[in-house]
Amino acid sequence: MKIRTLGRHVREGVKNLGRNGWMSFASISAVSITLFILGVFLILAMNVNYFAQSVEKQVEIRVFLDVLATKENVAQVEQNIKTIPKVDTVTFIPKEEGLKQFKESLGEKAYLFEGLEKDNPLPDTLVVKTKDPKDTSVVAAQIKKLEYVKNLNYGEGTVEKLFAWTGAIRNVGIAFIIGLGFTAMFLIANTIKLTIVARRREIEIMKLVGATNWFIRWPFFVEGLLMGIIGGLIPTAMLTIGYYYLLDGIQSSFEAAQLFKLLPLFPLVYQVAMALLAIGAFIGIWGSLVSVRRFLRV
């Protein structure tokens, strides 16, 4: 195919959008509306995931060391924990620091523990975070076996339940997105099919004057691509503006800001835009090519 012909196909595809004004409008609307709904769910699912992640990140293992352990022993334990592959960070909290933190958490009643500095009853503590929060219990079991480790605490039981919940929420989210994605594809492809059925005569005439199948397909390809992209841009713009105001509204109220920790506008909107445009373009092209194929046999 000559470059000039490609130019012709692109021009023709663009013109066809205008020539079939109402049909294009119907298709673009169908794409926009379904992708808008998909986008809303996408943003929702991403935020739920973000929330689950931030909850999971708070999971840590507090390792209480033997009060008799020397500084060298402590350093050795810290080193041993660091060599476990699944461990991300190890923070050492000496017993003095531990007491200070404890008193701070008591607030006004801190005076009850005045004078304990000299004879600190608290053990030295190591705070361990794993790379993947789901490995917490496995890592905890490994640490427990180490020498000078007296005890440890990571919220056993509660943590497992938490992970079960966050996992379930994620799966439901993914299932929803996939289901919605298929519905969107079906709906859009159907609308595009209708607009092309209306033009079967046109395709028949093109064939009768000697157009090759690809010569007929190309403008439809361009047209489908454009419809998909326009149909993706509209909901992207709406969702970006909507999300911006949602964030703005939440941040203006202190309580709401504490309660709902949402993903920042960027890069969320980029990701959503990419997803919607890609789906739109794919469905647009696929819908038109599949529909044209039915009428090429003349």
Partner 1 sequence: MIEMFEVWKTYPNGTNALKGINIRIEKGEFVYVVGPSGAGKSTFIKLMHREEKPSKGQIFLGGFNLSRIKERQIPLVRRSIGVVFQDFKLLPTLTVFENVAFAMEVIESSPKQIKPRVMDVLGQVKLKHKAKMLPSELSGGEQQRVALARALVNSPGIIIADEPTGNLDPETSWEIMKLFEEINQRGTTVVMATHNREIVNTMKKRVIAIEAGQIARDEQRGEYGYED
Could you say which of 29, 171, 212, 253 contacts partner 1 (CB under 8 A)? 212
Half-sphere exposure of 292 (CA within 13 A, CB side): 23
Q: Which is nearer to partner 1, 95 or 199 (CB)?
A: 199
CA–CA gap between residue 250 and residue 261 (Å, rounded): 9
Closest CA to 29 of 280, 282, 289, 290: 280
CA–CA gap between residue 124 and residue 109 (Å, rounded): 23
Q: Which is nearer to partner 1, 116 or 298 (CB)?
A: 298
In the complex, least distance from residue 215 CB atom to partner 1, rounded to whole angstroms? 6
In the complex, least distance from residue 233 CB atom to partner 1, rounded to whole angstroms? 25
Touching partner 1, residues 6-35 (CB under 8 A): 8, 16, 19-20
Non-local CB neighbours of 159 within 8 Å, separated by 6+ positions: 59, 136, 137
Work out whether 51 is an interface residue with partner 1 (CB under 8 A). Answer: no
Backbone angles phi, psi at 5, to 5 degrees: -65, -40
In the complex, least distance from residue 188 CB atom to partner 1, rounded to whole angstroms? 23
With helix as H, strand as E and coil as C, how does 189-245 read? HHHHHHHHHCCHHHHHHHHHCCCCHHHHHHHHHHHHHHHHHHHHHHHHHHHHHHHHH
In the complex, least distance from residue 225 CB atom to partner 1, rounded to whole angstroms? 20
Work out whether 178 is an interface residue with partner 1 (CB under 8 A). Answer: no
Work out whether 176 is an interface residue with partner 1 (CB under 8 A). Answer: no
Task: List C-alpha distances in Å: 232 to 65, 117, 220.
Answer: 57, 64, 18
Q: Which is nearer to partner 1, 18 or 85 (CB)?
A: 18
In the complex, least distance from residue 19 CB atom to partner 1, rounded to whole angstroms? 4
Could you say which of 194, 211, 233, 246 contacts partner 1 (CB under 8 A)? 211
In the complex, least distance from residue 15 CB atom to partner 1, rounded to whole angstroms? 9
**Residue 260's CB: how many other CB atoms inside 10 A?**
14
Work out whether 202 is an interface residue with partner 1 (CB under 8 A). Answer: yes
Work out whether 210 is an interface residue with partner 1 (CB under 8 A). Answer: yes
Closest CA to 247 of 43, 96, 56, 82: 43
Work out whether 298 is an interface residue with partner 1 (CB under 8 A). Answer: yes
Q: Which is nearer to partner 1, 150 or 207 (CB)?
A: 207
Residues at the site binding partner 1, with contacts judged by CB under 8 A: 1-2, 4-5, 8, 16, 19-20, 201-202, 204-212, 215, 298
